[in-house]
Each structure stands twice: as structure tokens, then as C-alpha cells.
Chains A and B, each alone.
Chain A
């Protein structure tokens, strides 16, 4: 079973921020939080990852709570092309990577 819990679906208006939550209450100290997304009929695409500090890149921001039991992926200005299934995954980075488990993810629908 996946180690994360995400809402099955969310809607967001185009141009607004999309905030996608993820619960990972059993995360271990050496596990990172990774986010991927899968646009219809394509392979999953890496978005961002973090350990305990907030992270930002050109695609998104990742906010991790201080206790690391939950996180939020933020797409600051959602576009129609951001419509996809978003997966939150916890795993060890590098070395013996173990089983990368994809859950069911959150289906984000960005509407005009």
C-alpha cells in the first residue's frame, strides 16, 4: 500500500493557485517527499521533492509541515495544461531506493 493519502480529485480555476495536499504520517527520517504528475496518455513527470525545508522550482512550490507528516504542492498560477493526476510519494533518495510506490493520486482539473 502507498504510504501517502491524497484527495481523489480537485478543481481549480485557471490562473488561480492550486494547492494539493498530501498526508504521510508514517514518513521516516530519511525519506523525502516527491511529487510527480501524469498528463493523460503520457509518462509521469517529476515535479519537485524535499526533505524538511520548503522547496521551490520553476514548476511548483513544496511546503512540508514541521512534523513532516503532511505537505502541500502549490502550483502558483494554474493553467489548463496543468490538468493531470498528481502523485505524492515518500521514498529514500538515492542509494538503495526501495520500492517507489505510486498511490491513486489527485486528479486536478483546471477549468477556464
Chain B
């Protein structure tokens, strides 16, 4: 079975540019999570959705960050405008609401110059 699929795997962009990260959760899963990982702060939960509805976005750093889940098989995390401090690995994870076991994608490594 295909796991959580993230794209792009690597992204290098310049400060001020818009960045869009994409995630396809495991089919049938009804919860989706976006995490960010840096050396300094470790793994941070940014936002999560249950049944395509955002439940908690308190981890989203600021208004430059936005996330959408238009349907059960697709989510995006957008940063506009991007800044060097946004450089990190961004992970998407999905789970069944009933079990809580998260399956993570391989991450998108973002470098903002």
C-alpha cells in the first residue's frame, strides 16, 4: 500500500517567494497533520484536520502560513511570503480518527535563501 506521499521532497527558494507543499494521505484515513522539524525546535505540530475540517491551527507560526484540505485525498501547506527562518523539514502525517496511530510521509525539505 502507498504510504503518505509528500511533494516536493526538496525545495530551494528565495526569500519572498510563495511555497506550496503538498500531501496525499493514506486512502481511508480521516485525520491529517502537518509538522515542522528543525534542529532548534524539534518536531512541532502546525495544524491538523479531522474529516477535512481544521481542528487546531494554534501551531501555525503566523499569517504567512496557511493550510487547506479541499478533499479527503489532498492537503496543501502554503507559505507566502517565505523567509529564511522557515527553512525546515515539513512532515505530513495521516491517521484513522479512531486509532490515533500516525503514519508520516518522508517530508519536504525547504530551504529559503
B75 at the interface (CB under 8 A from A): no
- Chain A residues packing against B (C-beta within 8 Å): 32, 34, 36, 42-46, 49, 87, 91-104
Chain B 89-113 interface residues, beta-carbon cutoff 8 Å to A:
91, 93, 96-107
Closest to A32 in B: B100
**Given B44, B58, B97, B105, which contacts A94 in the complex, CB threshold below 8 Å?**
B97
Please report whether the interface of chain A is mostly helix, strand, loop or mixed according to DSSP.
loop
Q: Which bucket holds chain B's interface residue count?
A: 20 to 34
Q: Hey, which bits of chain B sit against chain A, CB under 8 A? A: 4, 31, 33, 35, 42-45, 48, 50, 55-56, 58-59, 91, 93, 96-107
Least Cβ–Cβ distance between B2 and chain A, in angstroms: 14
Checking A43, A94, A98, A99 against B104 with a beta-carbon cut-off of 8 angstroms, the contacting residue is A43
Taking a contact as CB atoms under 8 Å apart, the answer to whether A94 and B91 are in contact is no
Bound complex: CA of A87 vs CA of B91, how far in Å?
16
Q: How far is the CB of B48 from chain A (nearest CB, A)?
A: 7
Q: How many Å lie between the Cα of A36 and that of B97 in the bound state?
A: 18
Give 19 pairs: A residue, B residue, CB < 8 Å, sorted on A.
A32-B100, A36-B102, A42-B106, A43-B91, A43-B106, A44-B91, A44-B104, A49-B100, A94-B100, A95-B97, A96-B55, A97-B50, A97-B100, A99-B56, A100-B33, A100-B102, A102-B35, A102-B44, A104-B42
